Structure 1
Amino acid sequence: MRRYVLSAIVVVTLALAGCGGSDSDSSQSSPTPSPGDSSRMEIGGAVQQPAKDQAPTERQEIITGQVALTAGDPVAVGRQIVDKVDDLGGRIDQLTEQPGSDDQDASSSLTVRVPADSLTRTLDDLRELGKVTSVSITKSDVTMQSQDLDARIGALTASVTRLQGLITSAANTADLIEAEKALSERQGELDSLTAQKRSLSDQVALATIMIDVTTTDAERPSTGPDNFWEGVVAGWNALLSAIAGGAVVVGALIPWFGFVAVIALVVYGAYRLRRTYNRPPSPPSGPAPEREEAKTP
């Protein structure tokens, strides 16, 4: 019995010694990280180096604005604005000119695209051409949208390049057809994103400004008489206009009066005819017969 007990004690001692050795070996096999490696990160067994400091991303903005100004000759000022925009390297997206008339004042409406860095100069030029009555400028940050498009375009470009290589090394027709189908889809997505990026870059590079040019208040015609004689003339003209308008109304109503008169005559004639037809016959003319008086006995 003592022999079995001693054997069990020996086995337990050897087991404990083995566990201690394995722990020491494991501690020796994993060296303590040095200060230089303390910034490394292990993700899924792969060691990644920390990202290097990147330069700050340039802010990208879409600038839109509205400007209203008055001038003595809006049409001429609108054409001067076109020349100014051409000198700045911009373009005209829309131009509407309305010459002055008796019922409407002259005006010009423009939608111009000017370089974003020339916005201040553009506003100064407009103040030289007329009196600026209102200015509204809006800036929209599209930096994240631009970065997202760049990343997606880069990924699709790499995918297209890989698919082109697969098509070149395709071993059979099935693989070739599958690779060409995938390449067509990737190329379509790449073309769409490239167009979006081009449009966004154009909006960032050129500010959009809508300009309305109208006449000044001093140039507008007077709406009422300024003295007694002008008041008399205005009243006389108003009377003549009223008479002329009344004559026109009477002339327009005459045909209706005639039509109503004809209808009235027809109705009256029918009424007389019906009355004559329904009249009872008159008694015969001549002396009335004498009644015989009853004789009394």
Structure 2
Amino acid sequence: MRTSPRTPSIITVTLLGSLLLAGCSATDRGTGASDAAGAISQDSVAQDAADGGPGLVGASVPDEDREVITTGDLTVVAPDPRAAVQAISELVETAGGRVESRAEHAGEDGQAFGSLTVRVPAVKVTATVDALDGIGEVQDVTLDAQDVTATAIDLDARIQALGTSVARLQTLMGEAATTADLLAAEKELTARQAELESLQSQRSSLTDRVDMSTLTIQVLSQDPEVTIRPAGFLGGLAAGWAALLVALNALVVAVGALLPWLVSAMLVLLVVRAALKALRARRPGAAPLAGPEGGASSPGDGGDGGGGDSDESAHLAGSGGRRG
């Protein structure tokens, strides 16, 4: 039997075609995981776009379904701050809340003060603030409400999209034909699960802040009572009497401060006066005089008698001369 020369060419072409088809099939399977992951990402983006964005959806939510975070700062003045801090802690726990921080201090002037940071159910914030009036005088109340409805809706949409993406990747891992496909799907699944857990943690924290409002309370000591004085004539009379008492008090204080100095000055004056008397008693005219013989003699003694007679004779002579 003679073989046709075209038979080897036909067989060769058939073999080459089979090899090309096998290579294309392997390439398609190798890129299947990546294409599926890309499709999932596109589906997530499309889902977010279909939701219309957080702003548009948040604006269409009814008021009763909106999510609001309420925070507040309060000041309570009480006669006993330590007892007031304890009473506020018990009040918060009774309302279903909790005390996150508590501090009590004693001031330099002996007056105590304290501070608390408490979490109260949002539906009981008003009732709790009103109940604080029974513990002390509530002052400087500041309440702030922040609407986070749009943020909550955005987180919910992203969590839902990532949940769908994780489910599809898990299905793809079960259908992977090769190790490369399995590793690619597992890597993408790990990243998506980490992002999903982060968003779920953010949503849980947001829900807690919405459900439980935060209040910061300062507890101060009550100031001493201030006496209100009447106006008019009685007010002037009371003011004058008070000024007189102040002046008398100042005078008494001044006298008390000067009294030791006055006593010391009197003593010095008495000593000086006694010294002056002693000096006057010892004047030269009162001291005894020495006679011609060196003895003591008085002015009337003979020692000075001659001198005295001579003076008297001279005086008489002078008088006689004038008479002649």
- TM-score bucket (shorter structure): 0.5 to 0.7
What is the 5 A alignment of 1:1-297?
56=62, 58-99=65-106, 102-218=108-224
**Cα distance change, pair 188–219 in 1 and its aligned pair in 2 (3 A):** farther
Q: Deviation of residue 154 (structure 1)?
A: 0.2
**Cα distance change, pair 181–219 in 1 and its aligned pair in 2 (3 A):** farther
SS of equivalent residue, structure 1 residue 103: coil
Distance (Å, rounded) in 1 between the aligned partners of 2:98 and 2:220: 22
**Cα distance change, pair 117–175 in 1 and its aligned pair in 2 (3 A):** same
Q: Deviations over 1:215-264 (max 9, x none)?
A: 111189xxxxx96669978xx9xxxxxxxxxxxxxxxxxxxxxxxxxxxx
**Cα distance change, pair 162–103 in 1 and its aligned pair in 2 (3 A):** same
Distance (Å, rounded) in 2 between the aligned partners of 1:86 and 1:76: 16
**Cα distance change, pair 232–192 in 1 and its aligned pair in 2 (3 A):** farther
Q: Deviation of residue 90 (structure 1)?
A: 0.6
**Cα distance change, pair 165–128 in 1 and its aligned pair in 2 (3 A):** same
SS of equivalent residue, structure 2 residue 73: strand
- The answer to whether the 8 Å contact 1:94/1:111 transfers is yes
Unaligned runs of 5+ in 1: 1-53, 221-225, 237-297
Amino acid paired to 2:163: T
User: As a proportion of its length, which structure holds more helix?
Assistant: 2
SS of equivalent residue, structure 1 residue 89: coil
**Cα distance change, pair 213–116 in 1 and its aligned pair in 2 (3 A):** same
Residue 43 of structure 2 corresponds to none
Q: Deviation of residue 167 (structure 1)?
A: 1.0
Distance (Å, rounded) in 1 between the aligned partners of 2:138 and 2:250: 35
Amino acid paired to 1:149: L
Distance (Å, rounded) in 2 between the aligned partners of 1:166 and 1:187: 15
Q: Deviation of residue 188 (structure 1)?
A: 0.5
**Cα distance change, pair 173–230 in 1 and its aligned pair in 2 (3 A):** farther
- The answer to whether the 8 Å contact 1:75/1:99 transfers is no
SS of equivalent residue, structure 1 residue 111: strand
Question: What RMSD in Å do the two structures reach over aligned CA positions?
Answer: 2.8
Q: Deviation of residue 104 (structure 1)?
A: 4.8
**Cα distance change, pair 99–158 in 1 and its aligned pair in 2 (3 A):** same
Q: Deviation of residue 56 (structure 1)?
A: 3.5
- The answer to whether the 8 Å contact 1:68/1:135 transfers is yes
Amino acid paired to 1:140: Q
SS of equivalent residue, structure 1 residue 171: coil
Distance (Å, rounded) in 2 between the aligned partners of 1:77 and 1:169: 66
SS of equivalent residue, structure 1 residue 62: strand
SS of equivalent residue, structure 2 residue 224: helix
- The answer to whether the 8 Å contact 1:72/1:219 transfers is no
TM norm structure 1: 0.55
Distance (Å, rounded) in 1 between the aligned partners of 2:206 and 2:89: 24
- The answer to whether the 8 Å contact 1:89/1:114 transfers is yes
Distance (Å, rounded) in 1 between the aligned partners of 2:73 and 2:218: 8
Identical columns (%): 45
Distance (Å, rounded) in 2 between the aligned partners of 1:151 and 1:138: 27
Unaligned runs of 5+ in 2: 1-59, 227-244, 257-324
Distance (Å, rounded) in 1 between the aligned partners of 2:250 and 2:86: 38
Q: Deviations over 1:138-189 (max 9, x none)?
A: 0000000000000000000111111111111111101100000000000000
**Cα distance change, pair 164–158 in 1 and its aligned pair in 2 (3 A):** same
SS of equivalent residue, structure 2 residue 127: helix
Amino acid paired to 2:68: E
Q: Deviation of residue 132 (structure 1)?
A: 1.1
